[in-house]
A and B are shown apart, each in its own frame.
Chain A
């Protein structure tokens, strides 16, 4: 049936979120998206690599793998077969702060998928016989990353920028730490972290209201309440300038990393998003315009904000011909220290890119669930478009005074990576 356009156009607010909390503290959030072809179930837990204690490096990610090896009820591979036989898909990701497991499923199969997902994640079997084999898979994953020079350069930068902090460690861990792990130590890790208020379930799609009852009587409600764990230190970045050679690089890289406020400071996050957009997104952004379009000394210019709970990271990554490195660095120095205030036109452009970017992300149930869950997990019970309310408060003067000061090159950890000797 052809839909009337007047109706279509009038309904582009963000999906309405319903928040509630189970008795044991588990956070829940639902987003009704009546037109989404697939429903997303997304279970988040405050069990990222930053929650690892000494000796546990890589455990959060290894556990994420082991979860898919089956539960006390589901045999190895049974979950994947069941979800995919229903026309769905599943995956998981481990970050610094949290880990999440998600399923995309036709709406009429959501109840079954919910039961399977919660059983898999909350009651993993962590069987001895699959443990060694899955460790081999993680070692292959590490080897694959080792073969990607871009990944190497980024990790080398983070290790130097945050040497004393979890954000400086590889999420995948290192072979030696992985080899020391046992199913028993992993079970302890799981039992300590997958608890009440450390978990959040988001559901988004068509008919999510019908799932509330199932959630309230699910194994989520039986999780023990979270206990206070040792608090982790805030992020303190080590400024400096480093140079490495990477054998298989074909062009040079210049990486700069700065630290910023934690994700809880949503106003700062929006300001930093705006600043990185003005500096590094699109041909008319300052760094792209100068380095790539005018001087033509850089091939790619990427500037990103990674909003994190213990302190955010801003990264600038440039690839260029090694002979242009000095000119690139000089230009960045100029742009970040002596450049003029952003013009009203630049500010408006940045606001449009940030605002519309968020609006585009509301199209998919997976992105909506992911945003809703990560905010809720970390105590931000807010509408998905709420961050944009801060956008107007970032004037050119405020950006200059608060963010450009923070992005001074002297406050960055800079890594220059050049191709190895065979070049």
Chain B
């Protein structure tokens, strides 16, 4: 594969430039027994690269007041730089060196491994994190989306440094994209191959391509709920299903349903659980933009004594999506929120660069969002109902909270399952 595709988004900013380099090697590529390997590799990339040892690199970045980080998410590895225009010349080469010439010093690798293990341990303090991790495992199992990008303790402990080096060698050998947004000096308007740091980018394409993402989710019938007992005040409820990829035709319909359910204070869940019944403070709906079967999730947390009502309301809201069409007023509001979300997500150079890189990584055209905005007007409530029937028909539930309450909630779930999951009023 030749150099990364370069995209430039000139913007009038307070002299700020954001650059995002996206590579197709995310945590979904973690091999069995190596869960967390891509995030650990990502974390190590900023610990020495090219001619700069770890201290020199930190001195350069921090000495310019810049931000440089590298993270694995499910579908890719993203290197992010934010700096001011006067420092672009000196800092942009780092993105190339991090990928083509990472140093991966053993002591720094061990430090990052230790920090990752401690972060994993600390995540267990958060019932929301436990709720989502358990749901992810229940739904995706051992497939690529089945674990947090940070990984799993035993796998991380046993990951050999040589394996990380192997993974680092293939980083520049997949289709990559570099997006610059904001302001930069004119001399950077040339080709990427002329840019320091990118001259060693390999010219040939590797035979090792990223694995195909999981597009079709096959639910296991025998297991529809997972519970985690914790001595907490509240129960965290996570209800959801693996749906389609961001590039699927139904994605837009599901996004409108997500807007209807969980976007803003006028959303159905907010109104129903919080405003009408007062059973939750934090409630919402979430749909990731993924290359594969993306999770569509509803979540809420409620005190033990009110959790049963919260679960019933959550289930009713879910079921209604495929039982009745949205009214024209509801559809109009969902459309307006979708348009609003687009504007809200385009406020900074960093947001613009990341969205552009994401679209490219998913194989979508630069004007995908504009096309969606046009399509929005023609989508009907009937089409949303059909999409819900297709994708939101086998939800899975994760509960995290005090054991006695979990038992009561499991009974509610079993009753709903045996009666076919449908809203309680129907």
Contact = CB atoms under 8 A, between A and B. Distances in A.
Interface in A17-53: 34-38
B265 to A, nearest CB: 4
Contact of A37 (B59, B114, B282, B346): B346
Interface stretch (A145-153, A183-191, A231-239): A145-153
A5 interface: yes
B263 A296 contact: no
Given A81-B266, A147-B127, A282-B62, A38 B343 contact: yes
Given A143-B234, A362-B14, A5 B266 contact: no
A37 B275 CA distance: 30
A155 interface: no
Given A2-B10, A89-B264, A362-B14, A146 B233 contact: yes
A90 to B, nearest CB: 7
A176 to B, nearest CB: 16
Nearest to A385: B14
A66 B274 CA distance: 12
A87 B234 CA distance: 33
Interface residues of B, number: 72
B118 A321 contact: yes
B65 A353 contact: yes
Interface stretch (A131-139, A207-215, A261-269): A131-139
B52 interface: no
B333 A5 contact: no
Interface in B345-372: 346-349
B413 interface: no
Interface string A232-263: 00000000000000011111000000000000
Given A144-B282, A147-B233, A348-B63, A12 B264 contact: no
Interface stretch (B29-37, B70-78, B183-191, B206-214): B183-191
A345 B56 CA distance: 13
B13 A12 contact: yes
A148 B125 contact: yes
Interface string B280-291: 111000000000
A357 B65 CA distance: 7
Interface in B15-33: 15-16
Contacts of B264: 80, 84, 89
A140 B63 contact: no
A77 B266 contact: yes
A87 B339 contact: yes
Nearest to B54: A283
B124 interface: yes
Given A87-B340, A141-B282, A147-B232, 5 more contacts: A76-B275, A84-B263, A137-B274, A143-B234, A352-B62
